[in-house]
Homo-oligomer: A and B are copies of this chain.
Amino acid sequence: MKNRIRLIVPIITQGLRTEAHAAALGDDDTEISFVTIDNGPETIEGEFDEVFAKPDTVAKIIQAEQDGVDAVIIDCMGDPGLAAAREAVAIPVLGPCQTAMHVASMLGHRFSVVTVLCRLHPLLDNLASIYGVSGKMTSVRSVDIPVIELDKDPERLCRALAEQSIRAIEDDGADVIILGCTGMDGLADAIENELMKARLSGVPVIDPINAAISLAKALLRSKLSHSKRAFGYPRRKKIKGFNLPTYGNEE
């Protein structure tokens, strides 16, 4: 039977993920679905945006578990709602940032994240701290292109990513690069090519959504999920103003 993995797109903008796209991310034994949240921000570019993205993201993850989905991935590099969703459900919930940072830590000596805007540096720094891999992250860099413009000029994006990746390698000592926005997915090969042209071959470029899907499959194969001792079910209580599916509760 196929693994059923669902991407939760934590912004209200339609069209960033399409059926075709989701299908392309799947494989013979993995079915990828996706849902976009109904309430929340257009894009996520900081802590403020995340606050409004999280409630419906968590709700959609509870719904995913009730729909019988096997694992869930939050489709954003800030991993908005990751800990909260893990409290609410038992199926694996993956954040592309957490996954990519740990995969990068396993593949090299020092990694850099190349993201969209410099205003995200503290946020990514803090995530590295919480995920326990600060010592492996040598820098966060950015291309200075807002999320909403990522699609507009793919060549400019690619060039900027390559440029920052080269500086991460040469100036910061990185030997693994993480694409720092899930909207950059599909570009890893192109960046690796650019690096090779700059005589910097052998540097893995990690596409976080792709990595998260592969890791979700790995967890399912090993029958592993997050620790419910670390992420215990919330006590059920009144929550006003939000339409939540009934969520698991141990009490």
On A, residues with C-beta under 8 Å from B are: 12, 27-29, 38-43, 45-52, 54-56, 58, 81, 83-88, 94, 98-99, 102-103, 105-110, 119, 121-123, 125-126, 129-136, 146, 169, 173, 175-176, 200-204, 206-207, 210-211, 213-215, 217-219, 221-222, 224-232, 234-235, 237-242, 247
Contact = CB atoms under 8 A, between A and B. Distances in A.
A240 B10 CA distance: 12
Contact of A229 (B106, B169, B241): B169
Given A133-B132, A232-B119, A88 B202 contact: no
A227 B176 contact: yes
Q: Copies of this chain, how many?
A: 6
A240 B58 contact: no
Nearest to A242: B52
A98 B108 CA distance: 12
A91 to B, nearest CB: 13
A214 B204 contact: no
Given A48-B85, A109-B230, A211-B224, 19 more contacts: A38-B240, A39-B240, A41-B239, A48-B87, A52-B239, A99-B106, A107-B230, A108-B229, A135-B135, A175-B229, A201-B229, A202-B228, A203-B227, A204-B226, A206-B224, A214-B218, A215-B215, A217-B221, A218-B218
A83 B38 CA distance: 24
A222 to B, nearest CB: 4
A131 B105 contact: yes
B102 A202 contact: no
A10 to B, nearest CB: 11
A165 to B, nearest CB: 12
A83 B55 CA distance: 17
16 contacts: A41-B238, A41-B240, A46-B84, A48-B58, A48-B234, A48-B247, A51-B54, A83-B122, A83-B123, A109-B227, A109-B230, A110-B230, A132-B133, A203-B229, A206-B222, A215-B215
